[in-house]
């Protein structure tokens, strides 16, 4: 691991310079990190980002990893390359924030976790929603007993690729993506399900490809049973209209309802001060804050883990568990049966 003063800005590099890399760039900039360069094999993308970001672009990962003083990287490449990039970076002694899904199979996830442990570096999985203000607030309310016993949780992430009629090959091809919306979006929801309701005992899933001519599913629903006895549903879709991200947690005493569907994200804490005969009338607190979704916050958490030694907000093992849940859901959909974890 590269030694450095705990007060010096983190020296970080980005692997991949596509869509999500820009959120990482923004997050590191906001956190005051020093972004020393990026690796990107596509010359046109490299040239565009060099201009936009004002930092050097390297053609290969190896060139970036060789830069003197580099301490950490964000892996922002297509799913199939997460494992080799993370393992190479960890072996070079760099802390890694790897985008989701951590990898495409559990053996690769285990190899990534082992490489980070052997090198003594932080491995964080990019399930940024854990760092989102609303998810943190919900978790705090659950922890303090404000909603009673969690009975049912529903999580949904869905969009329509902005109305595009096609899906990029990095997401549409099974070889490159490893799965469809359930892996891409559903893995975030699986992680949030574990964050809010604990570990999952079994899953039953249905998937379909209805809106696009692609190899992978564009709609999926997974029924979950948690070890706590609670039950829940994860929904993922590329066949939605517009963009939706939300979670709903129903407890014996109150409910938490969070969605961005009405223009901006809000969280409703719906509860009853006293019992009454009007079923529809509730006491409620609406939380409405400025949030960035969690991308910048997860980067701040990554830097804290590196500098202060605090556990990652979403570890490599957490990343593995969400992949396990999605793969089990795929098995369930194929075999049309409940899969025990
Ligand atoms: N956390 C989130 O909410 C979120 C959102 C979007 C994407 N993602 C994840 O981020 C990853 C990238 O998604 P994206 O939307 O940015 O894709 P993208 O296709 O826009 O960008 C990926 C970039 O990586 C580059 N690349 C490919 N192989 C590389 C390699 N070996 N080394 C360096 N660069 C390489 C590509 O040329 C491309 O520019 C995916 O795993 C995706 O699941 C996460």
Give me ligand 1 centre to Cα 80, in Å.
Answer: 10
Look at 98 and 177; give whichever has higher pLDDT: 98
Question: For residue 133, how far is its CA from the centre of ligand 1 (angstroms)?
Answer: 25
Residue nearest atom 27 of ligand 1, based on CA coordinates: 77
In this predicted model, which residue has the larger pLDDT, 271 or 279? Answer: 271
Is 184's C-beta closer than 6 angstroms to any atom of ligand 1? yes
Residue nearest to atom 4 of ligand 1 (CA): 20
Mean pLDDT, all residues of the chain: 95
- The protein residue with its alpha carbon nearest to ligand 1, atom 31, reads 81
The verdict on whether omega for the bond into residue 196 sits within 30 degrees of 0, i.e. cis, is no
So what's the pLDDT on residue 32?
97
Average pLDDT of the residues in 262-268? 92
Residue nearest to atom 25 of ligand 1 (CA): 16
Angle formed at CA 25 by CA 20 and CA 27, multiple of 5 degrees: 95
Q: What is the DSSP code (8-state) at residue 128?
A: G
Cα of 240 vs centre of ligand 1, distance in Å, is 22
Q: Is the CB of 45 under 6 A from ligand 1?
A: yes
Q: Which atom number of ligand 1 is nearest to the Cα of residue 20?
A: 16
Look at residue 175 in the predicted model and tell me its pLDDT.
Answer: 86
Q: Does 100 sit in the ligand 1 pocket, CB within 6 Å?
A: yes
Which range is least confidently modeled, 42-51, 164-173, 250-259?
164-173
Angle between the N-to-C axes of helices 316-335 and 106-119, in degrees from 0 to 180, rounded to the nearest 10 = 170
Query: pLDDT per residue over 50-87, tens digit each?
Result: 999 999 999 999 999 999 999 999 999 999 999 999 99
- Kindly report, residue by residue over 13-63, the tens digit of the pLDDT: 999 999 999 999 999 999 999 999 999 999 999 999 999 999 999 999 999
Query: Which residues, 6 or more positions from 77, have their beta carbon under 8 angstroms from its beta carbon?
Result: 15, 16, 18, 85, 99
Res. 110: pLDDT tops 50: yes
Domains observed in the chain: 11-121 (3.40.50.720), 130-295+324-340 (3.30.360.10)
191 CB within 6 A, ligand 1: no
Instruction: Please check the confidence at residue 1 and state whether its pLDDT lies above 70.
Output: no
6 confidence band (pLDDT: 50, 70, 90): low
Other Cβ atoms closer than 10 A to 43 = 10
Is residue 5 predicted with pLDDT exceeding 60? no
Of 39, 80, 99, 169, which is best to mutate to test ligand 1, by the most ligand atoms within 8 angstroms of its C-beta?
A: 99
Under the banding of pLDDT at 50, 70 and 90, the label for residue 7 is low
For residue 17, the ligand 1 atom closest to its alpha carbon is: 39
Is residue 17 in contact with ligand 1, taking CB distance under 6 Å?
yes
Is ligand 1 within 6 A of the CB of residue 242?
no
Tell whether ligand 1 has an atom less than 6 A from the beta carbon of residue 181. Answer: no
Closest Cα to atom 20 of ligand 1: 18
Question: Of 44, 170, 245, 295, which is best to mutate to test ligand 1, by the most ligand atoms within 8 angstroms of its C-beta?
Answer: 170
pLDDT at 2: 40
* Mean pLDDT, residues 328-336 taken together: 98
Query: How much is the average pLDDT of 79-107?
Result: 97
For residue 56, the SS3 value is coil
Ligand 1 and 186: CB distance under 6 A: no
Q: What span, in angstroms and rounded, lies between the C-alpha atoms of 294 and 143?
A: 20
Return the closest-CA partner of residue 157 out of 258, 77, 225, 249: 258
pLDDT higher than 90, residue 276: no
Which single residue is written with the structure tokens 């899969």? Answer: 339
Residue 81 C-alpha to ligand 1 middle, in angstroms? 9
Q: In what order do the strands lie in the sheet with 266-271?
A: 283-287, 266-271, 254-259, 244-251, 150-158, 231-237, 219-226, 200-208, 339-340
Tell me the pTM: 0.94
Does 159 sit in the ligand 1 pocket, CB within 6 Å? no
- Residue 61 Cβ inside 6 Å of ligand 1? The answer reads yes
Q: Whose CA is nearest to atom 38 of ligand 1?
A: 18
């Amino acid at each position: 691991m590269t030694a450095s003063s705990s007060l010096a800005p983190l020296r970080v590099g980005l692997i991949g310079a596509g869509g999500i890399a820009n959120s990482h760039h923004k997050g590191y900039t906001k956190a005051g990190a020093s972004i020393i360069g990026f690796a990107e094999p596509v010359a046109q993308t490299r040239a565009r980002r060099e201009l936009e970001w004002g930092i050097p672009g390297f053609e290969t990962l190896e060139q970036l990893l060789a830069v003197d003083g580099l301490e950490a990287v964000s892996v922002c490449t297509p799913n199939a390359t997460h494992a080799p990039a993370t393992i190479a970076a960890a072996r070079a002694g760099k802390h890694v924030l790897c985008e989701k899904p951590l990898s495409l199979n559990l053996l690769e996830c285990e190899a990534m976790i082992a490489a980070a442990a052997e090198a003594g570096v932080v491995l964080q999985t990019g399930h940024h929603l854990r760092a989102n203000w609303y998810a943190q607030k919900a978790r705090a309310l659950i922890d303090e007993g404000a909603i009673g016993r969690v009975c049912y949780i529903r999580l949904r992430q869905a969009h329509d690729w902005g109305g595009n009629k096609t899906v990029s090959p990095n997401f549409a091809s099974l070889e490159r993506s490893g799965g469809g919306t359930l892996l891409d979006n559903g893995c975030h929801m699986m992680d949030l399900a574990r964050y809010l309701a604990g570990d999952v005992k079994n899953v039953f899933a249905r998937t379909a490809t209805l809106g696009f001519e692609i190899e992978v599913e564009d709609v999926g629903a997974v029924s979950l049973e948690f070890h706590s006895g609670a039950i829940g549903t994860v929904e993922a879709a590329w066949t939605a209209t517009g963009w939706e991200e939300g979670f709903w947690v129903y407890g014996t005493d109150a409910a938490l309802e969070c969605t961005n569907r009405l223009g901006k994200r809000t969280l409703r804490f719906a509860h009853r001060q006293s019992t009454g005969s009007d079923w529809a009338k509730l006491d409620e607190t609406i939380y409405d804050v400025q949030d960035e979704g969690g991308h910048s916050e997860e980067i701040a958490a990554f830097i804290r883990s590196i500098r202060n030694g605090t556990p990652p907000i979403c570890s490599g093992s957490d990343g593995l568990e969400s992949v396990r849940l999605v793969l089990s859901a795929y098995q369930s959909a194929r075999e049309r049966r409940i899969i025990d974890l």
